[in-house]
């Protein structure tokens, strides 16, 4: 599996290009900013983008949706409960950041248990509310893209509208910590980690 990490924007969000080596098909997870860099990476990797997935609807993860979608023609996917954030600058926090985003309509509304296919790769949608009501993680092929649910040594914020710390911790324990310890975690911000490392040392999960 091919995973290209691009750290984009003022809030240093991780955008991932996830590709199938056999078919050269790919998905883009959280194109939060710097669309030109994202598209240059797609061209350099020589992959065809089959879908764009937002792990949640905050501005630092959706900011380049429109440009990347228009350039690739790939459908935009987000959980049903976070879809309204794509059209609401107050709720997606882009208004707070001083640069309200134009609305972008998703093509697919995701639910817990859905499967996203990328060539020969398969990723299962895990609904992990707490940071936002419709936050998701994508698990498969020995990795999990955790958005702003779980970080190396930390967890996502829960003080934004729709957030809940109790719900967040429950999501992590019930949906993520049950994955194999060797599962590599690709978070929405910061370095990679593993499920085993977070079970053993994350102070928020003790």
Domain positions in the chain: 2-205
Task: Give the tens place of pLDDT for each residue, 47-101.
Answer: 999 999 999 999 999 999 999 999 999 999 999 999 999 999 999 999 988 889 9
Considering only CA atoms, which of 49, 51, 123, 54 is closest in space to residue 87? 54
CATH superfamily of the domain spanning 2-205: Ribonuclease Z/Hydroxyacylglutathione hydrolase-like (3.60.15.10)
Q: What are phi and psi of 135, to 5 degrees?
A: -65, 140
Residues 6+ apart with CB under 8 A from 15: 5, 6, 7, 8, 28, 29, 30, 31, 32, 33, 34, 38, 64
User: How much is the mean pLDDT over the chain?
Assistant: 98
Task: Give the tens place of pLDDT for each residue, 10-60.
Answer: 999 999 999 999 999 999 999 999 999 999 999 999 999 999 999 999 999
Output the pTM of the full model: 0.98
């Amino acid at each position: 599996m091919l995973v290209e990490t691009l750290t984009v924007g003022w809030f240093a969000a991780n955008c991932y290009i996830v590709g199938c080596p056999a078919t050269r098909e790919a998905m883009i997870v959280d194109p939060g900013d710097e669309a030109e860099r994202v598209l240059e990476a797609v061209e350099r990797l020589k992959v065809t983008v089959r879908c764009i997935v937002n792990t949640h609807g905050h501005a630092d993860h959706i900011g380049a949706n429109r440009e990347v979608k228009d350039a690739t023609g790939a459908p935009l996917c987000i959980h049903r409960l976070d879809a309204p954030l794509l059209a609401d600058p107050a709720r997606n926090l882009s208004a707070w950041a001083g640069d309200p985003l134009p609305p972008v309509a998703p093509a697919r509304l995701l639910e817990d248990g859905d499967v996203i296919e990328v060539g020969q790769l398969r990723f299962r949608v895990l609904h992990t509310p707490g940071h936002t009501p419709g936050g998701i993680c994508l698990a498969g092929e020995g990795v999990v893209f955790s958005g702003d649910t779980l970080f190396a040594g930390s967890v996502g914020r829960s003080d934004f509208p729709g957030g809940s710390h109790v719900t967040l911790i429950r999501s992590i324990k019930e949906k993520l910590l049950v994955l194999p310890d060797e599962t590599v975690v690709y978070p929405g911000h910061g370095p990679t980690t593993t499920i085993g490392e977070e079970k053993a040392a994350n102070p928020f999960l003790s």
